[in-house]
Amino acid sequence: MTGELAVVGGGLIGLATARAYLEERPGADVVVFEKEPRLATHQSGNNSGVIHSGLYYRPGSLKAELAVAGAEEMYRFVEEEQIPFDRSGKLVVAVTERELPALEELERRGNANGLIGLRRIGPEEITEIEPTATGIAALHVPDAGVTDYVAVAERLAARLQEQDVVIRRGSPLTAIRETSDHVEVVVGGETHRFRNLVNCAGLHSDRIAALGGIRPEVRIVPFRGEYFTLTGPLAERVRASIYPVPDPRYPFLGVHFTRAVDGSVHVGPNAVLALGREQYRGRPPSLRDLWEMARFGGFWRLAAANVPAGAREMASRWRRLYARQARRLVPGVRAGHLARGRAGIRAQAVDRYGKLVDDFVIERSGRSVHVLNAPSPGATASLAIGRHIAKVIAGGTR
């Protein structure tokens, strides 16, 4: 097979990249290779389903730019495609005085990022908006919402196939060889030739980059996020999304409550080091992944600097302790109200100093573009990230 563009990874970002590329070059030969039998099997299908609004991200960062543009585009896409969504808004709630400076910083960032309708509210208004929540102050973000990202991925794929894009499921890429005028890829023992390649392989993106001959500055460290489903009387009363004030030292947003588009309320996710890039519940640790982590200096620096936070998150795996964390925002939650749900594994890039990389990282090398860090709000921003990558391929930006 020969073609113009090979996309590795059938998650939201790979599919959005194929879409953006075709918008710029209608009729181009594009092939998406996905190793799993289904699209959106990993991060894109196991997340909170939230359309973020751009509150958290450092003004001027790629994340801020692409989250704000991507959220609007995502709302347009789901509306046009009649995919369920709800612009239900969210509260970010401070429960102690110590959290107020961080809440102020979020307000500043939100305003700098151009959020519309962002408002600081007090305890009474908190309970007017979310009768189950309590706190001393909160930010109300009316533009946040929820959707079904698996449906988004499936619809993107259907629209691509209408434009003759080949989507090869069950097709893991295992080798890359790049020359001055093409990129050869080996998939399922067959060699194919393309003019360009985009690596959107999520949890495996650093490995795909290494196959392409580059030594990425960052490595993927997998952090599992476990969800519970809220049951009992409170499940009827949580209206939309209730978030804590995140710890500014970490890119994770903290255990939150979200009413999904199917009406269920999920609580989570925590952030626990996974013993394998795809170590979902019931799966054994991966010796290969653990060995690679052990050989990466950045991992040990990260571990050494985060022992208390790591231990706290590990402890949150017990339902009673998880309920205690959730009760900070919604005091009525008891362990018996939490039914174990699914889990997602974040592809979090870590640098060699052990720092969790906050911004999106998209790098071009020769004829290939590698997405080396696309954590939350990567689903929200996916359509805008795809556009950005299409420009990088054309050489317009880095």
Ligand X SMILES: Cc1cc2nc3c(=O)[nH]c(=O)nc-3n(C[C@H](O)[C@H](O)[C@H](O)COP(=O)(O)OP(=O)(O)OC[C@H]3O[C@@H](n4cnc5c(N)ncnc54)[C@H](O)[C@@H]3O)c2cc1C
Q: Contact positions toward ligand X, by CB under 6 A?
A: 8-14, 33-36, 40-44, 46-50, 52, 172-173, 200-204, 208, 225, 269, 344-346, 371, 374-380
What burial class does residue 128 get, using C-beta atoms within 10 Å of its C-beta: 0-12 exposed, 13-18 middle, 19+ buried?
exposed
Q: Which residue is nearest to ligand X (CB)?
A: 378
Q: Which helix (H) or strand (E) is 186 found in, with range?
A: strand 183-187
Q: Which is nearer to ligand X, 41 or 325 (CB)?
A: 41
Q: Which is nearer to ligand X, 137 or 144 (CB)?
A: 144
Q: Which is nearer to ligand X, 8 or 214 (CB)?
A: 8
330-353 exposure pattern, b = at least 16 Cβ within 10 A, e = fewer: beebeeebbbeebbbbbbbbbbee
Neighbours of 394 (CB within 10 A): 12
CB of 223 to ligand X, least distance (A): 8
CA distance 138 to 91: 6
CB of 371 to ligand X, least distance (A): 6
> Which amino acid does the sequence have at 254?
G
User: What tokens does 70 get?
Assistant: 């991507």
Q: Which is nearer to ligand X, 127 or 161 (CB)?
A: 161
CA distance 168 to 328: 46
Instruction: Evaluate whether 126 touches 329 at the Cβ level (below 8 Å).
Output: no
Instruction: Evaluate whether 369 touches 361 at the Cβ level (below 8 Å).
Output: no
CA distance 53 to 42: 23
CB of 47 to ligand X, least distance (A): 3
CB of 361 to ligand X, least distance (A): 12
Q: Which is nearer to ligand X, 256 or 367 (CB)?
A: 256
CB of 101 to ligand X, least distance (A): 25
Q: Which is nearer to ligand X, 137 or 157 (CB)?
A: 157
CB of 136 to ligand X, least distance (A): 26
CB of 376 to ligand X, least distance (A): 4
Q: Which is nearer to ligand X, 12 or 118 (CB)?
A: 12
Q: Which is nearer to ligand X, 137 or 374 (CB)?
A: 374
Q: Could you tell me the sign of the dihedral formed by the alpha carbons of 198, 19, 165, 28, in that order?
A: negative
CB of 31 to ligand X, least distance (A): 11
CA distance 279 to 281: 7
232, HSE (Cβ side, Cα atoms, 13 Å): 12
CA distance 383 to 15: 9
- SS3 call for 57: coil
